[in-house]
Structure 1
């Protein structure tokens, strides 16, 4: 069994690249050095994972977790989810939950900042007595 995403990418190189990083990299449109790095332990970014899944019709759940079959064509949507699969999936989903909570907190902070900036713009417009977009523009400069 391929225990890590790095092992699974190595398995994909064997399956789709005849064991050659260069062949596999060319198939998905990235550099061979990146593939070498992913196999050695560098975590691939989401866009690379998406390229693998879309280009090669790889099962995303398998690629991310090792659960299920490598190929989408081998999936059985009627197959029951095994308890052991849920046990393996729970820690992964917990990591995603932490990530989502951090992103939610960032969104809240950014929304608050946007609200403050909108209020500041309104104050400035009231202070000037008109909207910034109402300022007349002229192509002629006054030279004194």
Structure 2
């Protein structure tokens, strides 16, 4: 029943919004159209997921993966994790690993670009310094 994040958001609408998208949307501070879209398959953005987790005290792991209990208050940290949950968790973590690797590559590219820009700025500052020293100045103001 709660196979996808879209299904889980639908469950949250039932639980916290009495089955009404508008009520649920008002509780977390987003539009009803967004909630409708999330249930139909549009991927919610991180800030919306954060609002759900923080506003409603929903277990983020459950919301993202379906693993564990829906409510944070129902979590039992002493309970053993089931093998099937570990398998599902490993799959989710592998997906995050690919995402993290892509972000790492972007960070490296951005760091290289920052280095090039710093070099360019330094070069321009040196050129500007030369240009300024080449300008001849007069001690008499030319007032017209």
List gaps (5 residues or longer) in structure 1. Answer: 133-141
1:105 corresponds in structure 2 to 105
- Return the offset for 1:125: 2.0
- Return the offset for 1:27: 0.5
**Equivalent residues in 2 for 1:75-86, closer than 5 Å:** 75-86=75-86
TM-score between both structures, scaled by the size of structure 2: 0.87
Q: Equivalents in 2 of 1:70, 1:53: separation in Å?
A: 10
The alignment partner of 2:10 has SS state of: helix
- Return the offset for 1:80: 1.1
Q: Equivalents in 1 of 2:96, 2:36: separation in Å?
A: 26
1:33 corresponds in structure 2 to 33
2:74 corresponds in structure 1 to 74
Question: How many aligned positions are there?
Answer: 134
- Return the offset for 1:143: 9.0
Q: Equivalents in 2 of 1:70, 1:88: separation in Å?
A: 16
The alignment partner of 1:129 has SS state of: helix
1:53 paired to 2:53? yes
List gaps (5 residues or longer) in structure 2. Answer: 133-141
- Return the offset for 1:69: 0.4
1:95 paired to 2:101? no
Q: Equivalents in 1 of 2:26, 2:109: separation in Å?
A: 41
Q: Equivalents in 1 of 2:128, 2:46: separation in Å?
A: 47
TM-score between both structures, scaled by the size of structure 1: 0.87
2:121 corresponds in structure 1 to 121
Alpha-carbon distance change, 143 to 70 in structure 1, aligned in 2, over 3 angstroms: farther
Q: Equivalents in 1 of 2:34, 2:126: separation in Å?
A: 54
